[in-house]
Amino acid sequence: MCMRPPRRTEGSADMAVITYRDALGQALREEMQRDPDVYLMGEEVAEYNGAYKVSRGLLDEFGPMRVVDTPIAELGFAGIGVGSAMVGLRPVVEMMTWNFALLAIDQIVNAAAKVRYMSGGQVGCPIVFRGPGGAALQLAAQHSQAFESWYAHVPGLKVVMPATPADAKGLLKSAIRDDSPVVFIEGEMLYNMKGEVPDGEYTTPLGVADVKRPGRDVTIICHSKTVAVALKAAEQLAGEGVEAEVIDLRTIRPLDTEAILSSVARTHRCVVAEEGWPFAGIGAQVVDLVQREIFDELDAPVLRVTGADVPMPYNKGLEKAAKADPAKTIAAVKRVLYAEAS
């Protein structure tokens, strides 16, 4: 799927059509060239070129001191990353998937997120934990989970989720340069997506949402893989005369509250689409924000489209039924427009 050209915050005039995977690889290469304190570590990132080939070629260019294969020991190598960040390096720690990061959650939540606060600002922790999250195809319950709401719940962590190749590159570069620990969750089903990406120096600021499609009738708030879902829904709705505005959060924490509120204040209706489970999800935070700040602007209740509140089934048909999709999003939009089919 090709996305529309990105908005540039910094960059050159040249654009190339590349995959989401290669955009991430470009970001890593450029930041490692720019700053000798940046290094990559994780399972199979070096000799194997990465489980998803994001780190392809980096070992040959930077050597084994800066592209480090680790044992299958997430807690251990996450801790090494945190310790090295505390003494001035800028590690990028790849989790083969965020499902496996559960084994490292103590280092992410109890160490990385808290070290600056607990040291009274004396010790920083500029580290990026990155890798794919969410469901792919028939990977079943233990390998299909969207954990962004878990990490966004934790003070001290920034949570970033790019949906396009351009944002993958720009946001990863910004995350590596950030002085806070960043949880960077890539879409496992997005690695082969192609889109235009600026060549050379290009960054996307953290905490700034993006209007992926302007509209006047309803706002669809989404992130990561549900951006493609929302755009497909919006395209179908346009054929019925409904113009939906699609807001890609890009960063879950810090949340771009201004972008959300300004859009909903114009459209007066809102649907939130996310991959995760419904209870205490990202959408719940968005709903709270909208009803608390601009309740009088709403012409209908805010509705949420989420994954089903079950462990992900292995069965292909059940898995499809459990995921957020364009049909469910369109149904929610019609409900907030009071236009359900009779």
Residues marked as catalytic: 74, 143
The CA–CA distances, whole Å, from 9 to 46, 166, 200, 201, 239 equal 31, 11, 12, 10, 32
Q: How far apart are CA 294 and CA 264, in angstroms?
A: 8
Tokens 């720019």 found at: 34
The torsion angle over the Cα atoms of residues 147, 153, 157 and 163, rounded to 10 degrees, is 40
Strand ranges across the sheet with 128-133: 67-69, 38-42, 90-94, 128-133, 182-187, 158-160, 251-253
